[in-house]
Amino acid sequence: MKRSKRYEKASALIDRFKRYSLDETIDILKQFPKSKFDETVEVHFNLGVDPRKADQQIRNSLILPNGTGKKVTVLVFAEGDKAEEAKAAGADFVGLNDLVQKISKESWLDFDVAIATPNLMGKIGRLGRVLGPRGLMPNPKVGTVTMDVAKAVKESKSGKVTYRIDKFSNLHVPSGKLSFDHQKLKENILSIVRAVLRERPAAVKGQYIKSISVTSTMNPGIKLNISSVVIEAKK
């Protein structure tokens, strides 16, 4: 595959045989050729789990200490007092039948997070085929099916990210923007590593984290020294 000159310049800054410390990795990210937009920094894990087994599924959420740097659009399926609570908390779209119709008939998806009260899940269940593949279906495990809609809205707006293992045992988690200073990026990335470590299934007996890499939008990944990053995360 032919790569852009920008990608090739970024690749030249990385020794593909080396495993970097987190501080070294962030320093290299900052040296990558600049794009015309504020790139998202992502952490990629390959885990020693079998996602086909129910007891090795990994899906959860966390609030990044320094936020994501992204303006998050939140939709809430709610009625009555809960709808008013969602609006007061800053939700961008609140409703039920009107939103269900718009999503199902128009394939409208102009939001980043969908939240619902538990009593309405029966009514919005048919949206699973639209929202599910995009990771937008409300789910109690990540806190988006809840009666405390105000808390869920505020968390989503303040930097909550969700993650889910794919069929290749990979996790891809956004950790902020490239414009963040070194320390803020480091704190966010370490919080993600801690969260993934806590998710280790009891059934996994061998190596749990097989690789960790960090990259920014449209740039090559930088492989981290797993041991050193885990030690830092556990401090």
Q: How many helices and strands in the chain, by DSSP H and E? A: 9, 9
Q: What is the mean pLDDT of residues 16-33?
A: 96
For the segment 41-87, what is each residue's pLDDT rounded down to a tens digit? 999 999 999 999 999 999 999 999 999 999 999 999 999 999 999 99
Please report the pLDDT score of residue 163 as a whole number. 92
Band of the pLDDT at 168, cuts 50, 70, 90?
Answer: very high
* CATH topology match: 5-67+160-233 vs 74-157: no
Q: How far from 164 is each of 67, 129, 135, 141, 148, CA to CA, in Å?
A: 19, 17, 9, 11, 23
pTM of the model: 0.85
Q: Report yes or no: 175 and 43 within 8 Å, Cβ to Cβ.
A: yes
Q: What is the DSSP letter of 168?
A: T
Average pLDDT of the chain is 94
Q: How far from 114 is each of 33, 132, 152, 154, 176, CA to CA, in Å?
A: 35, 11, 10, 13, 21
Band of the pLDDT at 4, cuts 50, 70, 90?
Answer: confident
> Domain 5-67+160-233, what architecture?
2-Layer Sandwich (3.30)
Please report the pLDDT score of residue 2 as a whole number. 72
- With a pLDDT cut of 90, the percent of the chain lying above it is 89
Please report the pLDDT score of residue 213 as a whole number. 97
Topology of domain 74-157, CATH: Rossmann fold (3.40.50)
Please report the pLDDT score of residue 1 as a whole number. 62
What b/e string do you get for 9-46 counting C-beta neighbours within 10 Å, with b at 16 or more?
ebeeebeeeebbebeebbebbeebeeeeeebbbbbbbe
Residue 187 zone, left/alpha/beta (φ > 0; ψ -120 to 50; rest): alpha
Domain ranges of the chain: 5-67+160-233, 74-157
For the segment 107-148, what is each residue's pLDDT rounded down to a tens digit? 899 999 999 999 999 999 889 999 998 889 999 989 999 999
What number of CA atoms fall less than 13 Å from residue 154's CA on the CB side?
7
